[in-house]
A and B are shown apart, each in its own frame.
Chain A
Amino acid sequence: MDNKKRTVIQALAALIQNADFRGFFHPGVSQAATKQVCVPGLNCYSCPSAVGACPIGSLQNSLSSWSFKFPYYIVGLLIFFGVLLGRAVCGFLCPFGFIQDLLHKIPFFKKIKNFRADRYLRFIKYAVLIIFVIVLPLCVKLTPFFCKYICPSGTLAGILLAFSDTGLFRLFGSMFMWKACVLGIIVLASVLIYRPFCKYLCPLGALYALFNKIALVQMKTDETKCTSCKACFRACDMCVDPSVNPNSAECIRCGKCISACPENAIKYCFVSKKSKVISDK
Chain B
Amino acid sequence: MKRTISICLLAAGAALVAIGCSKGQPASVLAKAVTVCLECIGIG
Contact = CB atoms under 8 A, between A and B. Distances in A.
Interface of A: 28-33, 35-38, 44-46, 50, 52-54, 57-58, 61-62, 69, 71-80, 82-84, 143-144, 147-148, 151, 154-155, 157-158, 161, 168, 171-173, 175-176, 178-180, 211, 213-216, 271-273, 275, 278
A72 B23 contact: yes
20 contacts: A32-B34, A35-B34, A36-B33, A44-B37, A44-B41, A54-B33, A69-B25, A71-B25, A73-B17, A73-B25, A74-B29, A79-B10, A143-B39, A154-B37, A155-B42, A176-B41, A176-B43, A179-B42, A215-B6, A271-B3
A82 B41 CA distance: 27
A82 to B, nearest CB: 8
A257 B35 CA distance: 42
Interface size class of B (residues with CB under 8 A): 35 or more
A79 B33 contact: no
Interface string B9-44: 110111111111101011111101111110111111
B36 A161 contact: yes
Closest 10 CB pairs of A and B: A73-B20, A76-B16, A158-B41, A154-B40, A79-B13, A80-B13, A176-B42, A72-B20, A76-B17, A73-B25
Contacts of B35: 29
A178 B13 contact: no
Interface of B: 1-6, 9-10, 12-21, 23, 25-30, 32-37, 39-44
A189 B20 CA distance: 39
Contacts of B29: 35-38, 53, 58, 62, 73-74
B9 A214 contact: yes
B30 A36 contact: yes
Given A31-B34, A33-B30, A46 B41 contact: yes
Contacts of B20: 71-76
Contacts of A161: 36, 41
A158 B33 contact: no
B13 A76 contact: yes
A35 B40 contact: no
A31 B36 CA distance: 10
Contacts of B21: 73
Contacts of A211: 9
A168 B44 CA distance: 12
Nearest to A247: B2
B43 to A, nearest CB: 5
Contact of A77 (B13, B23, B37, B39): B13
B39 A271 contact: no
B42 A172 contact: yes
Contacts of B34: 29-32, 35
A80 B3 contact: no
A62 B28 contact: yes
A171 B25 CA distance: 31
B40 A144 contact: yes
